[in-house]
């Protein structure tokens, strides 16, 4: 009799490649991009610099950073076709569905979407990374019956995104916060969406197709949709004094609390720590509604850690504090997951380019549990 192979559901514990891009240390709660800790980068760097670091493997000189900044700015604009596509489906599809559709169409003016030349693929990656925030802002505006706003080349990547959403230039505090969001969401090794891009690119599909697979995979509440689900929970709680009974009831009913738990981190997610520090600062300048959500999030965090932290290894992840902070920065809930995708496009593209250096088609196996050699019964004789 055949011995049953061991199945790794969800590929838990399975290594799929060697990578020099990022290290997630789930035991110590640390994250590094190309050797630099996420805390150092969030404090000192900019999204543009992190973009250079990830795509080219090292921190840039001033000239190198300026060159990349110019390229990103040049590629920000989106075509009238893309705007028309978004407008046509604006009322019918969710923001993430619209982004997925627009990314898929982004190959429209690339006469050679697939390339086996790494330098050419880096240029394609820069186009995608530059356009995602413009597409995302256009999605938000068109869904709200407002005309899209053209990018402003005097503004940095994340600052310009906030500007394209509202038409107002953000103050330095909110611009820095949005840049930190773009930095901390940019990359996270072989998570579900990055893995999906690798599966697609391993067939030698082009980079646009692979990034489209990433956007699709980010959609679910177990991945990119968790911050929206967490804010919904905070709104359901409504008042800080209801937090404890809500959490108790939810846990007793075996409900998942979104924004907690992680496949790799069995301790506090370092990105959540960065956001918690922002949250404590944002509390003073937040309006009444957001201040309540902040208070609820801080009470819920304490309770969840008491109940599931050390005992179950379930700690806050990046998505728990993100929601109240986005609202504080004036970013509405339905934009959350498209910001995540816009930022993560950097990690997706970097992984695709790295994987192609040593490409191997993904083709895992399944244990077949059905029958064999059944008799084929013609349709008229089937009961």
Q: Show which residues are catalytic.
A: 262, 319
Q: Per CB under 6 A, does 344 bind ligand CMC?
A: no
User: Out of 124, 262, 292, 344, which residue is the one contacting ligand CMC (CB under 6 A)?
Assistant: 262
**Strand locations in the chain, DSSP E?**
22-25, 30-33, 36-37
User: Out of 29, 259, 309, 323, which residue is the one contacting ligand CMC (CB under 6 A)?
Assistant: 259
Helices then strands, each counted (H, E), the chain: 17, 3
Touching ligand CMC, residues 150-189 (CB under 6 A): 188
Q: What is the DSSP letter of 220?
A: S
Q: Collect all residues with Cβ–Cβ distance below 8 Å to 154 and sequence separation of at least 6.
A: none
Residue 190 burial by CB count (10 A; 0-12/13-18/19+): exposed, middle or buried?
buried
The Cα 121–Cα 352 span in angstroms is: 9
Touching ligand CMC, residues 218-247 (CB under 6 A): 222-224, 226
Stretch that binds ligand CMC, among 28-36, 63-71, 261-269, 366-374 (CB under 6 A): 261-269
Q: How far is the CB of 348 from ligand CMC (least distance, A)?
A: 13
Q: How far is the CB of 265 from ligand CMC (least distance, A)?
A: 8
User: Out of 156, 214, 261, 324, which residue is the one contacting ligand CMC (CB under 6 A)?
Assistant: 261
Q: Per CB under 6 A, does 345 bind ligand CMC?
A: no
User: Out of 136, 317, 343, 350, which residue is the one contacting ligand CMC (CB under 6 A)?
Assistant: 317
* Backbone φ, ψ for residue 203 (5° rounding): -85, 0
Nearest to 212 by CA among 355, 72, 102: 102
User: Out of 21, 139, 162, 257, which residue is the one contacting ligand CMC (CB under 6 A)?
Assistant: 257
Strands lying side by side in the sheet with 22-25: 22-25, 30-33, 36-37
Identify the bridge partners of residue 260 per DSSP, sorted by sequence position: 316
Q: How far is CA 288 from CA 33, 244, 291, 332, 335, in A?
A: 37, 20, 5, 16, 21
Q: Per CB under 6 A, does 318 bind ligand CMC?
A: yes
Q: How far is the CB of 236 from ligand CMC (least distance, A)?
A: 15
Between 128 and 258, CB nearer to ligand CMC: 258
Stretch that binds ligand CMC, among 16-24, 104-112, 313-321, 375-383 (CB under 6 A): 313-321
How many residues make up the chain in this entry? 383
Stretch that binds ligand CMC, among 26-34, 56-64, 120-128, 317-325 (CB under 6 A): 317-325
Q: Per CB under 6 A, does 258 bind ligand CMC?
A: yes
Q: Interface with ligand CMC by CB under 6 A: which residues?
A: 10, 188, 191, 222-224, 226, 256-263, 312, 314, 317-319
């Amino acid at each position: 009799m055949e011995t049953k192979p061991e199945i790794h559901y969800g590929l838990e514990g399975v290594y799929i490649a060697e990578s020099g891009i990022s290290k997630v240390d789930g035991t110590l709660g640390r994250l590094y991009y190309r050797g630099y800790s996420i805390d150092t980068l969030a404090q000192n760097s900019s999204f543009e610099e992190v973009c250079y670091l990830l795509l080219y493997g090292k921190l840039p000189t001033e000239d190198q950073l300026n060159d990349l900044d110019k390229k990103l700015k040049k590629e920000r604009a989106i075509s009238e076709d893309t705007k028309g596509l978004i407008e046509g489906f604006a009322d019918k599809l969710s923001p993430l569905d619209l982004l997925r559709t627009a990314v898929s169409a982004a190959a429209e003016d690339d006469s050679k979407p697939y390339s086996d030349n790494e330098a050419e693929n880096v240029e394609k990656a820069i186009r995608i990374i530059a356009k995602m925030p413009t597409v995302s802002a256009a999605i938000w505006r068109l869904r709200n019956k407002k005309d899209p706003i053209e990018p402003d080349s005097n503004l940095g990547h994340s600052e310009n995104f906030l500007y394209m959403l509202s038409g107002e230039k953000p103050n330095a505090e909110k611009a820095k916060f949005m840049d930190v969001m773009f930095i901390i969401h940019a990359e996270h090794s072989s998570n579900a969406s990055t893995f999906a891009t690798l599966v697609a690119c391993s067939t030698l599909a082009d980079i646009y197709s692979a990034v489209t697979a990433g956007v699709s995979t980010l959609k679910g509440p177990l991945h990119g949709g968790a911050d929206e689900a967490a804010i919904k929970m905070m709104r359901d709680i409504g008042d800080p004094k209801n937090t404890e009974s809500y959490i108790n009831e939810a846990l007793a009913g075996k409900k998942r609390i979104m924004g907690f738990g992680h496949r790799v981190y069995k301790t506090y997610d370092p990105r959540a720590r960065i956001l918690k520090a922002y949250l404590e600062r944002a509390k003073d300048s937040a309006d009444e509604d957001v201040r309540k959500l902040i208070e609820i999030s801080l009470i819920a965090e304490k309770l969840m850690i008491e109940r599931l932290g050390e005992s179950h290894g379930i700690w806050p992840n990046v998505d728990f504090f993100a929601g109240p902070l986005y609202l504080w920065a004036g970013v509405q809930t339905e934009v959350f997951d498209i910001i995540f995708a816009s930022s993560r496009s950097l990690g997706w593209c970097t992984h695709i380019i790295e994987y192609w250096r040593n490409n191997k088609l993904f083709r895992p196996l399944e244990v077949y549990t059905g029958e064999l050699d059944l008799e084929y019964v013609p349709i008229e004789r089937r009961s």
